[in-house]
Amino acid sequence: MSNTRKIIYVIVIAVLLGLIYVGNYAIQYAYIGSSYDTKTVCSCMFVSGRKLENIKAEDLYAVPFATINVDEANKTVTSNIYGFAETKAIYRTGLGCTLVNELSEEDIRKQPSVPSADTLTEILSLETKLPSNIDETTLQKTIDEAFIENDPKNIIRTRAVVVLQNGKLIAEKYAPNITFQTPLLGWSMTKSVTNAMIALLVKDGKLDIKKAAPIEEWKNDERKKITIDHLLRMSSGLDFEENYASPSDATQMLFRKKGAGAYALLSKAAAEPDKIWSYSSGTSNILQEIIRRQFTSHADYLAFPHQRLFHKIGMKSAVIEPDASGTYVGSSFMFATARDWAKFGQLYLQDGVWNGERILPEGWVRYSSTETPHADGKYAAQFWLDHQDKSFPQDAFMAVGFEGQYVTIIPSKQLVIVRLGCTPNDNFNHSALVKGIVAAVK
């Protein structure tokens, strides 16, 4: 064979391998995109109660080309991209929506339900007369500005703002088609709820955050050094790709695998624990896997956050959605009304005490809001900080989620500020909202 022919063969093989790689990548991307749309439509329709037309117009901007089919009678959604990447999500009362991944729909539907919260009543109502220390004009102006669309190329799309001061609802505003009764997705604010679930097990004496994480799969390698504290602070040293622009660990975990935590705990060690800080949704789902393993009954696990947290503080609307395996997706998939998100923030403002009952262990809120080493003043333990901006309240700590979700807790001002929305580029000016509201509280 001549050298020329050999070169041609090598080029042809290289091109074929390249096409296979690109084709495989495109298929993965299509399935992830289809799953994203399927899950979004299912949850926004059957948990939030929104209309399909509105969801398509506002929430599916990242993957606008999927074909969506909704079965309202059975509360299921399927979508496909170009006729081949078809995915399905199913709704279950109390559990929200779950993607049908690697398990059958029949098997998923056999899983236990969660206890009803029908006996709870709404405990927040808007104050008709504000305290004298509140500058009502500044407060309302600041909130109104959070809803103004100044640039059609950079949509803000604020859906809700709620402000509590001294535990009282002093202001709220909602976008059209959204009300105080509309549960909205918190995205990564769910991580802060996972923090609370760990706290409850610490209070029960079932977990010790300073000890090695109780994960049997890690017992015989370098991961045995990782503690629950490392996972809470995202300083575990695990190799996990947090990239949502392409097929990655994060997108595979959330949209293609039956068990988010089970997938994430397969991550290999890339660094010594506590040496680097690296934001990772995988670690939050590993924490949920740890939480589930503390229960002998699947039903008891699913009931746990409802009975021990949501029901205690009146979060009637709260829904954490599980993956196909039945484990809560503790990094990303919780819905609640803006008022109920505010109640969660109020629990932390009150040092974990509600109506005189200690819900979270003493000292837990201080731990959860203490800066993590190597995090550049940005992160604590499943809560965010902003210590870089010295004009921002330095005692503030925040639950933060994709597309501009915030529960901001400011102990020095006895403030809880909730902002929920769908901001595509995460360019909502959260700092201006907080500083304006703080300025309104004399």
- Could you tell me if residue 404 is left (phi over 0), alpha (psi between -120 and 50 degrees) or otherwise beta? left
CA distances from 409 to 141, 273, 383, 396 (A): 21, 29, 10, 5
| All residues at 6 or more sequence positions from 167 whose CB lies less than 8 Å from its CB, including other chains | 346, 349, 350, 414
> Cα 262 to chain center, whole Å?
18
CA distance 422 to 25: 28
Residue 425: predicted pLDDT:
87
Residue 27: predicted pLDDT:
81
Contact 250, 242 (CB under 8 A): yes
Residue 123: predicted pLDDT:
67
CA distances from 67 to 83, 112, 242, 332 (A): 8, 31, 27, 24
CA distance 287 to 141: 41
Residue 8: predicted pLDDT:
53
Residue 126: predicted pLDDT:
79
CA distance 103 to 101: 5
CA distance 399 to 387: 15
Residue 20: predicted pLDDT:
40
CB atoms within 10 A of CB 276: 15
- Among candidate residues 253, 304, 258, the one with its CA nearest the CA of residue 283: 253
CA distances from 81 to 26, 66, 252, 256 (A): 11, 5, 17, 15
Tokens of 324: 């196909």
- Among candidate residues 214, 135, 187, 121, the one with its CA nearest the CA of residue 332: 187
The three-state DSSP-derived secondary structure of 38-86 is HHHHHHHHHCCCCCHHHHHHHCCCCCCCCEEEEECCCCEEEEEECCCEE
Helix and strand element counts for the chain (H, E):
14, 14
Q: What is the pTM of this model?
A: 0.94
Task: Compute mean pLDDT per 10 residues along the chain, 442 residues long, and list them.
Answer: 53 44 63 96 98 97 95 97 93 98 98 78 74 94 97 95 97 97 98 99 98 98 98 98 92 97 98 97 98 98 98 97 98 98 98 97 98 96 97 97 98 98 94 98 89
Helix axes 298-305, 281-292, angle to 10 degrees: 120
